[in-house]
Copies of this chain bind each other. A is one copy, B any other.
């Protein structure tokens, strides 16, 4: 079904999130953050780092005796793939129907509407 070669899993994306926030980082630091945020044990995070390495999603640069990890794929690209995937699956690949859905479900906060309006105006200007 999902024939995509090397997808980033949910747990893995938490690791990516940490590295996107600030990198490069030693494993120790990633572990510390995810222990706090997700309650994960050291081994868990090490495994995830390795799987991401094998998938080519991050790189590890030797820094003395340890490695420093950094993302190889951009957060924007990731966000893009995920978002487009959802749109494709649920909204015929287009954005407007999603917004329409949220609107119908009354899930549009006034500040969201305001921000959308600003966005559209900016698009007009160019």
Contact = CB atoms under 8 A, between A and B. Distances in A.
Copies of this chain assembled into the complex: 2
Interface string A51-81: 0000000000000000000000000100110
Interface string A87-109: 00111001110111111110111
A67 B15 CA distance: 46
A10 interface: yes
Listed from nearest, the 9 A-B pairs whose CB atoms lie closest are A96-B115, A96-B112, A86-B86, A79-B90, A95-B112, A96-B116, A95-B102, A1-B11, A1-B10
Interface of A: 1-2, 10-11, 13, 38, 76, 79-80, 82-84, 86, 89-91, 94-96, 98-105, 107-109, 111-113, 115-117, 119-120, 123
17 contacts: A1-B10, A13-B89, A76-B101, A76-B104, A76-B105, A82-B86, A83-B86, A83-B90, A83-B98, A94-B109, A96-B111, A96-B115, A98-B98, A99-B99, A113-B120, A116-B116, A117-B120
